[in-house]
Structure 1
Amino acid sequence: MKNSIAERVADFLKQFPPFNMIETKSLLKIATQVDIIYLEKGDALFNKGDGFHEHFYIVRNGAVNLYHNTNTAKHIVGINDAGDIFGVRPLIAQENYKLTATANEESIIYAIPVEIFKSVTHNNVKVYKYLITAFASNTYDPYTAEENGKIFVDYLPNTTQDIGNFQTADYTKSPITCLDNVSLKDAALKMCEHKIGCIIVVNTEKHPVGIVTNSDIKNKIATGKFSIETAVTNIMSSPVITEKKDITVANAQLVMIQHSIGHLCITRDGTPNSKLIGILTHHDILVTLGNSPSVILKEIKRAKTTRSLRKARLKANTLLKSYLEQNIPISHVVTIISKINDAVNVRAIDLGIKKMSTKPPVAFSWMSLGSQGRKEQLLFTDQDNALIFDDVDETDYKKTKDYFLELARHVTKTLNKVGFEYCEADMMASNTEWCKSVSEWQAQFKDWIFNPNEKAILLSSIFFDYNYIYGDKSLVDTLTDTIYESVKNTTVFFRFLGKDALKSPPPLGFFKQFLVEQNGDQKDLFNIKSKALMPLIDAARLLTLSKQIKGVNSTYERFEKLAELEPNNKELFDSCAYAFKALLKFRTKQGLLHDNSGKFIELASLTKEEKLKLRRCFKPINEIQESLKFRFDLKNVM
């Protein structure tokens, strides 16, 4: 005989995660054991400090408030409405409740028995991934050392293919070697005998000291620079980069990119001072991942036309999509795509210089600004850049500036054809306002700092996130020193920056609804850039400037550095870093899905799980903004 009540419960549950991840037969098994609870407004389901129940809960009708109680007051943490789960602590932490759950209105609650739920979902990874996220979302103070690894489970592999990328790289064991006292001729003969393209040079203790490749022989022996009888140590590349045998494929790829190498020596303890046990090559990585940033970087460096440069950069989008599908950690993804974007800029400048009638008249430096300056430009968004040139005599100034403006026009045009749109506000080096001598730039930043107003803060918020790309780095260093010396002597500027950082409060209304655009073409869309990412970006910039932190541009790296410097605020800063990475990953996925910048999101297209993850990332925004109010005396700023 059918149980019509259980069927109705199951029909409701299957609309919402994680129950929509459970097969019908198992869901019915759960539904037959569900307790149905009726609550009047104000009734408590559980209180802070209560021992955990044998159930967790989902709202059928009505709404349930979650409170954090203190000795003097109670603070509402969230409101759960139809389809929201809460009270998941028995499943995850098995400890007393940290919140109080009270009916906000007349409500019907389904109580899901923990044991029966566990019995039918014990092998369902997706279900537990969702529940851990929900647990974190309903935790008052979730950013503890024990829970950090659970909250952002998006970064962990959850399929066979994903796990493969995080397993130990398959390196070549017992690599062919030669001693460091042999001749190049002997080493080359050994390479021919074994039909290999490189040989590892080791000392008598079998520690790796160098590597010889076919390219070394071609460039140093065939050209006549050295005799074939020369010692192998004269032409080997040294020192070698070494790693432990348990390095993952993803990490090995990142190391190769960072050091611009194609071979990693595997040693017993991961250092050059231990025995060589294997070699991992770029080819091994390429075979595993099926696509290689190293290959893309080579194509970019060799590109002779804008068309070939665009073709190479487009491959990075395919790579980006693949990385996100494989759940490669976003920090790795950011590093790789930023390296590719920088290489595109460098090549565009090289091509631009070739189009000029003469070489640059004086030293100059090209800077990327905004998201690329922070190394956070994963998608094709607009370009923001600036140019600094060395000071010249007044009589040569116009001619020098005209040269660099023409060069900048070539470069920005190339970048536009590659796929980076022109900046709508014309914040590009091709604009005379953003192409200046080093002394002019110093004066400009001093003016922004000592005479702040809304326009100055708007511009400085973009220009303070700059990154050296090309040319004479000392010019950028000089500018950086000027900025940090200037901000030592002002508090007004920080207050203006602080006010700007508070302009977008956490993007949730009182009843947990997303704050969407109210009019225009984007009506009812959620602006993840301005409402979620920018508050964290602005806060990180302000704090690093005030703490005199140089050379750290990435938002999440800024928060991580702040966590180092202020251990007492480590949990807050770590939570901001994690939230930013999760939001950046979410925006990038949306942009790839809809072939746009990912800036505006149609909330109706998101699953309940995706909305939950977004809400989870908004909590640190409120915490960091409250911190800014206290630090910079902004308590009355709205």
Structure 2
Amino acid sequence: MKNTIAERILDFLKGYPPFNLIPKPTLLEIAKKVEIHYFEKDQIIFSQNDSPHEHFYIIYEGAFRLYRFAEGKKHVLDICDEGDLFGLRPLIMKENYLMGAAANEETILYGIPINLFNDIILNYPKVSQFLIASFATNTRDPFSEKHKGKLFANIQAIKKVENSFSETQAVKYTPNPITCNATTTIKEAAIIMTENVINSIVITENKKPIGIITDKDIRTKVGTGHFKITDIAEKIMSHPVFTFPEKLAVAEAQIALLKHKVSHLCITKDGTNNSELVGILAEQDLNLIQGNNPLLLIKEIKKAKDAETLKYIRFRAGDLTKGYIEQEIPIYFVTKVISEINTAITKRAIQLSIKEIGKEPPTDFTWFAVGSQGRKEQLLMTDQDNALVFENVDESEYKNVKCYFLELATKVTEKLNIVGFDYCPANIMASNPKWCLSLKEWKQQFKEWIKDPIPEKILLSIIFYDFELIYGNQELYDNMAKSVLKHIKKNQSFLGFLGKVTLDNPAPLGFFKQFLVELDGENKDSFDIKSRAIRPLTDAARIFSLYHGLQINNSIARFEKLMEVEPQNADLFESCANAFKILLQFRTLQGLTNNNTGRYVDINNLSKADRLKLKSCFKPIKNIQDSLKLRFKITQII
């Protein structure tokens, strides 16, 4: 006989996560064991500190409020309505309820037996991930040491269980590489390479790699007559070598080759150059699995003859980003790869522009990115933010020197605009005379911002404190960076003004945990994920990093370093890093899907799972802002 009640329950459950992730036959068995409960308005289903029930609940009809008593007062924490789950704590932590639940109106609940879900969690990982995400949004402190590794916001929890994307797989390196010692002659080393049909030989000492000789070294150092074939290998070897452990993912290898600008990586037992060499990985050993491989894109960028070619390459990089995001490659890796591509495009635009002008720069200069590109977080084609600093010159030369660099900057920003990076609406670009300055002028600029923190200067300093060298003289960049940190150290109160601007931004959620959306304009009723969620975290990471004098720009790297600097607050900073990863990944996917910047999210079109995913990130925002208030005494700033 047909169980019509069970089928009706099934029809309801399959419309909500995580039940929509369960096959129909299994879901029907669950539906058969569901208990139906009716509650009148204000009737309590469980109280704070009660022992856990044998069921967790989903609201079929009506609404429930969750509340907690603290300091003798009752605080309403959330209002749950149709399709919401609650009472999950027994499933996750085997603890008493940390809050109470009461009917906000006449309500019908479905009670799901917890013991049914033990096998479900094991057999359906996505169900487990959803339940953990839901639990995280109602946890008193979801990122404490106690819960570490069990929450959706933890990066391990959002990795795909079975990932066939080849760039996450371990590389296939060449084991037992051919080696020689430092005193072997170049001729002998070349003979060994020829006999073994290889293009490199590793120089070792006590089985540890200390250098490498490649075909290129022999061509450029010996073939040109700079060294003799009778000289020893040590004289022409490239050193130090870059070493990695045996379990190196393709994506990691690609990033390493891009970052260090080398063609070979040494594989050692523990990943350091102080352990035994076990393999060699050459650039060509990487399986170039798709045309949008980052190594190929970088090579094509270096050969590009015009901005249109760069535009085509950057378009393909967008496909690469989408592939990474969809396959759930850790977002930190994605930012590294795409940032290298963006940097390479800017470098090539500068080189092409210098060639177009027809004469070399009159003095040393540095092109630096600010804002999201300066933090290496620009995954989407948003607007460009950049600036230029040139070496101090005599007053008599200043005008001509600045004219050259303004002409150069104009040509570069034009090319970047063709590529797809829109002009900055606020004109924060090197082509603006205000942001094309000598080193002396830049130092004075930062000094004024810090000493006279009026709102306009604070907003500018927020943008420019995330600056990253893209092209040019490293010493100029370092000189400017050290000057900034020096002035900050002398004027710690300035950080309070930076914090006040951050806290002036409304929290992501309203009183009943409803998303705060735009009230008017073209984005009315949309959630501004950049301003309300991502920016508070980037701002906090910046302020704490400046406080400690850290010359780090990337938000994730900042939080991870802060975990080391302030171990007593490691949980807080880790929660912020994990929340930021999820938010950046979410925004990027939104932007790629909708072919825009991903900034404004249509909340009404989000699944309940996505809503929970976002909400799980908001608790760290509140926690870090509370920490800012206390640390920098922001409430005292008028």
TM-score where L is the length of structure 1:
0.93
Kept in 1, the 8 Å contact 2:292–2:317? The answer is: no
Give 1:372's aligned residue.
373
SS in 1 for 2:634: coil
Q: Quote the sequence identity (%).
A: 49
In the TM superposition, what are the counterparts of 1:102-181 in structure 2 within 5 Å?
102-120=102-120, 122-151=122-151, 152=153, 155=156, 156-162=158-164, 165-181=167-183
Shift of 1:288: 6.0
Cα distance, 1:366 vs structure 2: 1.4
User: C-alpha displacement at 1:414, in angstroms?
Assistant: 1.3
Contact 2:481 2:551 (8 Å CA) reproduced: no
Inter-CA distance 390–243: structure 2 relative to 1 (3 Å threshold): closer
The Cα of 1:4 is off from its aligned counterpart by 2.1
Structure 1 window deviating more from structure 2 (363-372 vs 146-155): it is 146-155
Cα pair distance change 1:488/1:12, threshold 3 Å:
same
Letter in 2 for 1:27: L
Q: Deviations over 1:47-75 (max 9, x none)?
A: 33333322221122222233343343344
What is the one-letter code of the residue matched to 1:281? Answer: A
**C-alpha contact 2:545 2:551 (8 A) present in aligned 1:** no
Give the Cα–Cα distance (whole angstroms) in 1 for the partners of residues 269 and 614 of structure 2: 43
Q: CA deviation at 1:121?
A: 5.5
One-letter code of the match for 1:194?
Answer: N
Matched residues in 2 for 1:529 and 1:471: separation?
31
Q: Does structure 1 retain, via aligned residues, the 8 Å contact 2:580–2:617?
A: yes
Q: Secondary structure of 1:127's match?
A: helix
The answer on whether the counterparts of 1:61 and 1:109 sit within 8 Å (CA) in structure 2 is yes
Provide the secondary structure at the position in 1 that maps to 2:425: coil
TM superposition shift of 1:534: 1.3
1:234 lines up with 2:235 in the alignment: yes
Shift in Å, 1:490: 4.1
Q: 1:324 to 1:284 in 2, by over 3 A?
A: farther
In structure 2, stretches of 5+ residues that fail to align are none
Q: Distance in 2 between matches of 1:218 and 1:507?
A: 59
Tell me the residue number matched to 2:62. Answer: 62
Give, in angstroms, the shift of residue 215 of structure 1. Answer: 1.7
Contact 1:286 1:292 in 2 (8 A): no
Change (3 A) 1:282 1:440: same
For residue 266 of structure 1, give the secondary structure of its aligned residue in structure 2: strand
**Aligned twin of 1:194:** 196
SS of the residue aligned with 2:149? Answer: helix
Q: What does residue range 222-301 of structure 1 map to in structure 2 within 5 Å? A: 222-287=223-288, 291-301=292-302
RMSD of the TM alignment (CA)?
A: 2.5
1:452 aligns with 2:431: no
Higher mean C-alpha deviation, range 409-418 or range 361-370:
361-370
Q: Distance in 2 between matches of 1:3 and 1:636?
A: 65
- SS of corresponding position for 2:239: coil
Contact 1:172 1:279 in 2 (8 A): yes
Q: Using the alignment, how far apart are the partners of 2:392 and 2:287 within structure 1?
A: 46
Q: How does 1:270-349 map to 2 (within 5 A)?
A: 270-287=271-288, 291-349=292-350
User: What does the per-residue CA deviation read over 1:482-519, in whole Å, with 9 as the maximum and x for residues that have no partner?
Assistant: 33333345466434322211122222222332222222
- The Cα shift of 1:334 comes to 1.3
2:471 aligned partner: 470
Q: 1:478 to 1:267 in 2, by over 3 A?
A: closer
SS of the counterpart of 1:160?
coil
**C-alpha deviation, 1:165, in angstroms:** 4.8
Higher relative contact order (CA 8 A, sep 6+): 2
Mapped contact 1:125–1:158 kept (Cα < 8 A): no
Distance 1:94 1:162, change over 3 A: farther
The residue aligned with 1:520 is 521
Deviation at 1:19, TM superposition (A): 0.4
Q: Give the 5 Å matches for 1:380-529.
A: 380-490=381-491, 493-529=494-530
| Alignment CA distance shift 1:276-1:326 (3 Å) | same
Given that 2:154 and 2:578 are in contact with CA atoms closer than 8 Å, whether structure 1 keeps it comes out as: no
Cα distance, 1:176–1:17 mapped onto 2, change above 3 Å: same
Q: How much has 1:636 moved relative to structure 2?
A: 7.7
Q: Partner letter of residue 96 of structure 1?
A: N
Change (3 A) 1:236 1:348: same
Distance in 1 (alpha carbons) for counterparts of 2:369 and 2:516: 32
SS of corresponding position for 1:280:
strand
182-191 or 587-596, which deviates more: 182-191
Tell me the amino acid that sits aligned with residue 448 of structure 2.
D
> Could you state the TM-score of these two structures normalised by the residue count of structure 2?
0.93
Greater shift, 28-37 or 57-66, is seen at: 57-66
**Number of residue pairs matched by the alignment:** 636
Q: How many angstroms apart in 2 are the aligned matches of 1:201 and 1:636?
A: 62
Q: Deviations over 1:441-490 (max 9, x none)?
A: 22222222222222222222212221222222333333333333333454
Q: Read off the aligned partner of 1:270 and give its amino acid letter.
A: G
Partner of 1:5: 5
Code of the aligned partner of 2:195:
E
One-letter amino acid matched to 1:432: P
Which residue does the alignment assign to 2:625?
625
Deviations 1:142-182 (A, max 9, x none): 10235332322565432533486545433222223334443
Q: Which moved more, 1:303-312 or 1:326-335?
A: 303-312
Structure 1 equivalent of residue 570 of structure 2: 570
Decide whether the 8 Å contact of 1:452 with 1:496 is kept in 2.
Answer: yes
* CA 1:237–1:396: 2 relative to 1, 3 Å: closer
- Shift of residue 263, structure 1, vs aligned partner: 2.1
Report the more deviating stretch, 184-193 or 14-23.
184-193
User: In 2 relative to 1, CA 288–94 (structure 1 residues): closer, same or farther, beyond 3 Å?
Assistant: farther
Q: Aligned pair in 2 of structure 1 residues 363, 171: CA closer, same or farther (>3 Å)?
A: closer
Distance, in Å, in 2 between the alignment partners of 1:115 and 1:169 is: 42
SS in 1 for 2:150: helix
State the 1:349 CA deviation: 1.6
Distance 2:257 2:391 in 1: 35
Give the structure 1 partner of residue 42 of structure 2.
Answer: 42
Show CA shifts across 1:98-132 (max 9, x none). Answer: 33333333322211012223345641121112112
Question: What secondary structure, in the 3-state scheme, does the structure 1 residue paired with 2:501 have?
Answer: helix
1:583, distance to aligned residue in structure 2 (A): 0.4
Does the Cα contact within 8 Å between 2:496 and 2:637 map onto a contact in 1?
Answer: no
Post-superposition Cα deviations, 1:316-367, rounded to whole Å, max 9, x if no partner, equal 2222122212222111111222222222222222222222243222222212
1:102 is paired with a residue of what secondary structure? Answer: strand
Cα distance change of structure 1 residues 299 and 602 upon mapping to structure 2, 3 Å threshold = same
Note if contact 2:489-2:549 (Cα within 8 Å) is conserved in structure 1.
no
1:212 is paired with a residue whose SS is strand
Deviates more, 1:183-192 or 1:549-558: 183-192
Structure 2: how far apart are the matches of 1:289 and 1:567?
42
Q: Which amino acid counterpart does residue 530 of structure 2 have in structure 1?
A: K
Q: Structure 1 residues 40 and 631, CA, compared in 2 at 3 Å: closer, same or farther?
A: farther
Any conservation in 1 of the 2:375–2:468 contact (CA below 8 Å)? yes
Greater mean deviation of Cα atoms: 407-416 or 236-245: 236-245
* Contact 1:210/1:237 (<8 A) preserved: yes
Q: Is the CA contact (8 Å cut-off) linking 2:347 and 2:471 kept in structure 1?
A: yes
Name the counterpart of 1:26: 26
Q: 1:89 to 1:390 in 2, by over 3 A?
A: same
Q: Residues 218 and 136 of structure 1: is their aligned pair in 2 closer, same or farther, counting only changes over 3 Å?
A: same
Whole-Å separation in 2 of the counterparts to 1:300 and 1:176: 33
- The residue type equivalent to 2:549 in the other structure is I
Task: Give distance in 2, aligned partners of 1:376 and 1:627.
Answer: 24
Q: Indicate if the aligned counterparts of 2:241 and 2:265 stay in contact, CA closer than 8 A.
A: yes
* Separation in 2, partners of 1:406, 1:389: 14
Change (3 A) 1:392 1:276: closer
